[in-house]
């Protein structure tokens, strides 16, 4: 796959505002604490479903899941989900930190 195709695939919005609303209902239904910025990220994505808003929401959802000690996430059925969320959060956090260190966008773009 060329870098151009890879970059194009990485920049797609793959969830809908309805998906985001349904996900946020989980937090409400199970009284999961909402970390700072999460509600605003859901609202922002639902109002403007752009790639950047999707990524901001994804980051905060992953952070919320991996940093909570809420009973809803301690169930055995959530173990695979937690593992995947930790991996995604670690990768996103690493990329964010790396971009801050070098002061550049690290995404692959065609020359």
Residue 4: the pLDDT is 52
Identify whether the C-beta of residue 35 lies closer than 8 Å to the C-beta of residue 67: yes
**Domain residue ranges in the chain:** 3-102
Q: From 45, 35, 38, select the one nearest 14 (Cα to Cα).
A: 45
Residue 7: the pLDDT is 55
Q: pLDDT means per 10 residues in the chain (111 residues)?
A: 52 93 91 93 96 95 91 86 92 88 60 39
Structure tokens at 61: 């959802």
Residue 35: the pLDDT is 93
Residue 84: the pLDDT is 93
Q: From 14, 71, 23, 29, select the one nearest 43 (Cα to Cα).
A: 23
Residue 95: the pLDDT is 87
Q: What is the pTM of this model?
A: 0.77
Q: From 45, 39, 37, 44, select the one nearest 15 (Cα to Cα).
A: 45
Residue 105: the pLDDT is 56
Q: How far apart are the C-alpha atoms of 42 and 59, rounded to whole Å? A: 11
Residue 60: the pLDDT is 95
Helix (H, G, I), strand (E, B) or coil at 48: coil
């Amino acid at each position: 796959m060329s870098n151009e195709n890879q970059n194009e695939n990485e920049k797609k919005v793959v969830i809908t505002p309805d998906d985001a609303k349904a996900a946020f209902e989980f937090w409400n239904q199970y009284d999961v604490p909402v970390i700072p910025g999460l509600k605003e990220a859901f609202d922002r994505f639902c109002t403007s479903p752009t790639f950047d808003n999707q990524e901001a929401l994804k980051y905060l959802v992953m952070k919320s899941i991996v940093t909570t000690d809420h009973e809803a996430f301690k169930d055995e059925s959530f173990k695979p989900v937690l593992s995947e969320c930790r991996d995604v959060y670690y990768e996103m956090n690493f990329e964010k930190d790396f971009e801050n260190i070098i002061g550049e966008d690290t995404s692959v773009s065609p020359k």
